[in-house]
């Protein structure tokens, strides 16, 4: 009886298979990456909706006043001054909702670890709107259209206010958007597919494209988009 010999793959056939796998990988990997980022965006939006609920409970308990207008280091520490994040911790019971899964640790891109690194009690990639903090809801012309907080690409132990009051006598504010940082790209509200999630004063949260954001979303005048100089000076609209 004649024995049948097995036929192996030729080099050309192996190369063809490898090429096909490489092509499929090139097609599928970006799809998987987009799906992963979409899931993170959804998780982030869920976190921010919880922040909005906590804000609603806070304002109900404090005669419809928003939290104080302070930028605070290590905002979650027991003795930290009140801030837009620290003030709502008792209403949220979950500190993990204060940072986005897509954010990057600040120290990993060069910021001083000792000064800025997250701790168990203080970690956030969100920044508060300094125009509205410390004000009564009754003074807001349209709470559903005014941002309470937005996202930063980086997470740290700070509760930053952006835009921030830079001259109390003149009522001047700066930095509602920022393209002068690391990478020279928009650092705020640009975490998810060229946009970011936002919490509004009435407590609702939604995604908005960075190109659709305007200074008036933060209660600032003049009304401009992100094409404006990021160091431009503004005044409050109310």
pLDDT digits (tens, 9 = 90+) for 60-70: 999 999 999 98
The confidence score (pLDDT) of residue 17 equals 79
Q: Residue 218 has what DSSP assignment?
A: G
- 10 Å Cβ neighbour count for 101? 17
Among candidate residues 158, 29, 184, the one with its CA nearest the CA of residue 98: 158
Task: State the pLDDT confidence band at 12, using cuts at 50, 70 and 90.
Answer: confident
Whole-number pLDDT of residue 146:
98
Task: Classify 229 as helix, strand or coil.
Answer: coil
Quickly state the pLDDT bin for 38 (edges 50, 70, 90). confident
Identify which has the larger pLDDT, 83 or 41.
Answer: 83
> Picking from 45-54, 125-134, 155-164, 181-190, which range would have the lowest pLDDT averaged per residue?
181-190
* 150: its two tokens: 């937005």
- Per-residue confidence (pLDDT) for residue 5, from 0 to 100: 56
- C-alpha–C-alpha distance, residues 180 and 46, integer Å: 29
Cβ count within 10 A of residue 177: 26
* CA distances (Å), origin 172, targets 165, 176, 236: 6, 12, 8
- Residue 72 confidence (pLDDT): 93
- Tens of pLDDT, residue by residue over 152-167, are 999 999 999 999 999 9
Place of tokens 């030729």: 10
- Whole-angstrom distance, CA of residue 113 vs CA of residue 31: 34
Closest to 66 (Cα-Cα) out of 219, 224, 234: 219
Lowest mean pLDDT among 36-45, 151-160, 198-207: 36-45
Give 98-165 as a 3 state SS string.
HCCCCCEEHHHHCCCHHHHCCCCCCCEEEEECCCCCCCEHHHCCCHHHCEEEEEEEEEECEECECCEE
Paired residues of 100 in beta bridges: none
pLDDT confidence bin for 22, thresholds 50/70/90: confident
Q: Is 173 left (phi over 0), alpha (psi -120 to 50) or beta?
A: beta
Q: How far apart are CA 41 and CA 43, in angstroms?
A: 5
**8 A C-beta contact, residue 128 and residue 200:** no
Q: Report pTM.
A: 0.85
Whole-number percent of the chain with pLDDT over 70:
93
Average pLDDT, the chain: 91
Confidence of residue 9 (pLDDT cuts 50, 70, 90): low
């Amino acid at each position: 009886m004649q024995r049948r010999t097995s036929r192996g793959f030729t080099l050309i056939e192996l190369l063809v298979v490898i090429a096909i796998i490489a092509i499929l990988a090139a097609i599928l990997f970006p799809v998987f990456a987009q799906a992963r980022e979409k899931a993170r965006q959804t998780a982030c939006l869920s976190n921010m909706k919880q922040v909005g609920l906590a804000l609603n409970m806070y304002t109900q308990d404090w005669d419809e006043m928003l939290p104080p207008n302070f930028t605070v280091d290590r905002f979650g520490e027991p003795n930290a001054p009140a801030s837009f994040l620290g003030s709502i911790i008792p209403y949220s019971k979950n500190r993990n909702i204060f940072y986005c899964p897509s954010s990057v640790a600040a120290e990993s891109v060069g910021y001083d670890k000792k000064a800025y690194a997250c701790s168990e009690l203080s970690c956030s990639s969100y920044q508060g709107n300094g125009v509205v903090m410390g004000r009564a809801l009754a003074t807001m012309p349209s709470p559903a259209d005014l941002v309470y907080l937005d996202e930063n690409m980086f997470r740290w132990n700070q509760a930053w206010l952006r835009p921030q009051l830079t001259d109390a006598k003149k009522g001047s504010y700066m930095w509602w958007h920022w393209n002068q940082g690391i990478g020279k790209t928009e650092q705020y509200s640009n975490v998810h597919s060229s946009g970011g999630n936002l919490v509004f004063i009435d407590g609702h949260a939604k995604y908005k494209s960075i190109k659709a954001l305007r200074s008036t979303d933060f209660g600032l005048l003049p009304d401009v988009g992100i094409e404006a100089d990021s160091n431009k000076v503004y005044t409050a609209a109310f």
